[in-house]
Amino acid sequence: MCYDCQNPYSEHYTMKILTVDIGTGTQDIFLYDSRLDLENGFKLVVPSPTMMVRQQLQSATRNKEAVLLTGVIMGGGPSHWAAEAHLKSGLDVFVTPDAARSFNDDLDEVREMGFQIVSEDEALQLSKKTTHIELMDFDYQRIRNTLTRFGVPLNDLAAVAVAVFDHGDSPPGYSDRQFRFDYLDSRIREENRLSAFAFPGDDVPEIMTRLKAVVSSARGIDAP
């Protein structure tokens, strides 16, 4: 790497930060580039991961196909409702443990919903005879490929920042809603600043299971 690119006191120093805000309806992607005015940074607003999974599930329901869900914890909402509708249509939904926690951190609760939890080995066999959908909130490769097609490379990032709304892993008998409010309250009382809700990848609290899944999906990126 060139010295100028790493020296913050050089007039040639640049910084690029990929930011992704993952919501229910959309994911908003912004590439900060210190060489550009802020309003000229490259932006993408595309369907959220949960909406894309919803579309795939609805297609499988129309085609009367059994579904296999693998991957990691991701945001629910539309994808969860589509999976439940698939079950109500009399069709099977197989799901690996990590993916199942997208619906509830308690796997017994997931089973009671009607989902069939299978091991990774069983999933390998089922993938040949089901519609296979991989769950993840942060698909870096997809974002990178899209921007690369427009001549915007991501091979020199200084950092990656991803925002998700994590309900947290609430203890049994503790409502997700109350757990979330109590967590927000404790963080505000402890630090009382917006950065109280931001963590380096290695410091994400264990209870923030969705955020930890994002960190897992980001492994291999040459940036913090």
pLDDT value at residue 21: 98
pLDDT value at residue 136: 98
Pairing between strand 16-22 and 26-33?
Answer: antiparallel
The structure tokens listed for 101 are: 């926690």
Kindly list the averaged pLDDT for each block of 10 residues, start to end, along the chain of length 224.
Answer: 40 84 98 94 97 98 98 96 98 98 93 97 95 98 96 93 92 85 92 92 94 94 84
| Secondary structure E strands in 80-149 | 93-95, 116-117, 131-135
| Residue-level length of the chain | 224
Contact status, residue 102 vs residue 80, Cβ threshold 8 Å: yes
DSSP 1: -
**Side chain identity at 185, as an amino acid letter?**
D
Contact status, residue 24 vs residue 78, Cβ threshold 8 Å: yes
Nearest by Cα to 67 from 127, 135, 136: 127
Residue 14 and residue 155: Cα distance in Å, rounded?
13
pLDDT digits 0-9 by tens, 117-175:
999 999 999 998 999 999 999 999 999 999 999 999 998 899 999 999 998 888 888 88
**Helix and strand totals (H; E) in the chain:** 9, 8
- Could you give the domains of the chain? 3-47+138-217 (no CATH), 49-135 (3.40.50.1100)
**Side chain identity at 41, as an amino acid letter?**
G
pLDDT value at residue 1: 34
The structure tokens listed for 76 are: 């629910």
